[in-house]
Amino acid sequence: MFDFAGDDICSSRHGGAPASTATHERVKHTYGPRCREVLKVIITSGFQGATLDQVCIALGKMPHALSPRITQLKRGRLIVGRGTRPTRSGCPATVYFATLAGEQALTAGGAARA
């Protein structure tokens, strides 16, 4: 299981704003499962890797819902960004790949913490 529930990855941006803090408390139980889903998409993308845009398409979510999970996975050294490629809109986006630790965390169902 991925244990990211205590991490408010956006706290430095919202500065502890009451509404943002309340939202974090309400949804933090989804962080681990969502990180696992994101990591699985990146791993199944193989040698091509995946951009945030591609992960969003695969999971049917908006970027604002998954970008913090990408950050948590990067901080946990479970994924790395290498190079860029265009999104659907033509903007360059970082391509993410799973690290060995990321692959092991997903396949072993092991604990991972950013």
Domain that holds residue 20: 11-108
**pLDDT value of residue 20:** 74
Distance CA 100, CA 57 (A): 24
Report field, pTM of the whole predicted structure over 0.85: no
93: tokens are: 């986006």
Spatial contact of 99 and 55, defined as CB atoms under 8 Å apart: no
In a domain, 23, yes or no: yes
In a domain, 3, yes or no: no
Task: State how many domains the chain has.
Answer: 1
What's the pLDDT tens digit per position in 64-113? 999 999 999 999 999 999 999 999 999 999 999 999 999 999 887 654 44
In a domain, 5, yes or no: no
In a domain, 4, yes or no: no
Domain containing 31 — which CATH number? 1.10.10.10
